[in-house]
Structure 1
């Protein structure tokens, strides 16, 4: 099974990495493919460029066999839409290979406003990771879709190419990329929230208004 976990990763942090490893263990899939988006369609500009975010990801994943970076959205012009990425992967993998995408409840709550959202279950399975404080509207379309397609056993995703949904409650590290950017901009250290190699590179490049000469 091929699994993708997309996001801006602006910057990549231990919350992202721990979640990806949990998914790898629960689904018994190696590697999990982290897909940084080029231009996120549902938010403003990123704090770091695509190239800078990719560099931070590569540093964070160095030596980690369970995780891998997939650069495909960074190489595509324009906004990054999930349906386009899944369609490209489906062409590469073939019609019968199980394909799964990972999304948090905070993002999935607006799933019915994603471009071509109705086609996504026909391209891939969806793993919905429960996030504290991000509940689905029980009367909304995303909740109805989850109820209709939900399976309880992760192994079910291995048995068919697409169309199923798995609702997972995982031990999460409540770390916010927004909070990390704000902390750096305020001159405070994000150490232990991000890998040391990532923090060193942020300082080296002066990302998020970090002071390269700061004693952090």
Structure 2
């Protein structure tokens, strides 16, 4: 929500990946993860749960998702929000050079994970850095910037470890999502996780 306000975005779409191409598929089904996204966002009208990757066959390529959004919103700037750790692997993504022609990129700084973008990405983005957030509204795509937000001690690994240890995740996960957890959900979420010791 903070980035939405800072970047003056009309809305932010949260799009769960159905078939992540760069990592092993999550234990929890895409449909169940989508239910959690909908529960988490139900009181945030500017945050939109978008199931387009679940409805599309094949790997969940960011390029394909942005191409579909561009068709849907041909005259509206699109902004892709990414953790800055994504910059480290961005050059391995499907049709990665074309992604910046479909959307602006915002690499969100994460504490303890300094970005180390590949030289080919650095070269491709040279001369495209936005001078201000207002620049994103002046063209449909093609710019990038980095952003930092106050760090929160929240990570999916921490949540899974706390669940495995039978400890509370209140304050880390929306109450509506916690209330929906079944024993099967917790079992799938904590598969192969070491219990939390903090």
Give the Å deviation of 1:146. 4.2
1:207 aligns with 2:178: no
In the alignment, the residues of structure 2 paired with residue 208 and residue 35 of structure 1 have an alpha-carbon distance, to the nearest angstrom, of 22
Whether the 8 Å contact between 2:89 and 2:118 is mirrored in structure 1 is no
Residue aligning to 2:193? none
Superposed, 1:64-213 pairs within 5 Å as 64-94=44-74, 96-137=75-116, 140-202=119-181, 204=182, 206-209=184-187
**Counterpart-to-counterpart distance in 1, 2:39 and 2:90:** 31
Distance 2:116 2:105 in 1: 18
Structure 1, unmatched stretches of 5+, are 1-20, 211-216
Name the SS of the counterpart of 2:146 in structure 1: strand
Contact 1:150 1:164 in 2 (8 A): yes
Displacement, 1:93? 1.4
TM-score, normalized by length of structure 2?
0.87
Which secondary structure does the structure 2 equivalent of 1:206 belong to?
helix
Higher relative contact order (CA 8 A, sep 6+): 1
The root-mean-square deviation of aligned C-alpha atoms, in Å, is 1.8
Question: Which of the residues 27, 33, 49 maps onto 2:29?
Answer: 49
- Report how many residues are paired: 188
Given the two structures, how large is their TM-score scaled by the length of structure 1?
0.80
- For the residues of structure 2 that align with 1:120 and 1:139, how far apart are their CA atoms? 16
SS at match of 1:149: coil
- Equivalent residues in 2 for 1:6-21 (5 A)? 21=1
Name the SS for the 1:102 alignment partner. Answer: strand
C-alpha distance after superposition, 1:127-185 (max 9, x if no partner): 11111122233662333444431113111000001100021122132311122122212
1:34·1:69 contact (CA, 8 Å) conserved in 2?
yes
Q: 1:194 to 1:90 in 2, by over 3 A?
A: same
CA contact (8 A) 1:136 1:143 kept: no
Q: Deviation digits for residues 105-133 of structure 1, max 9, x if unmatched?
A: 11121110111001111111111111112
What stretches of structure 1 move > 2 A for 4+ residues in a row? 133-148, 185-189
Distance 1:73 1:205 in 2: 26
1:62 maps to what in 2? 42
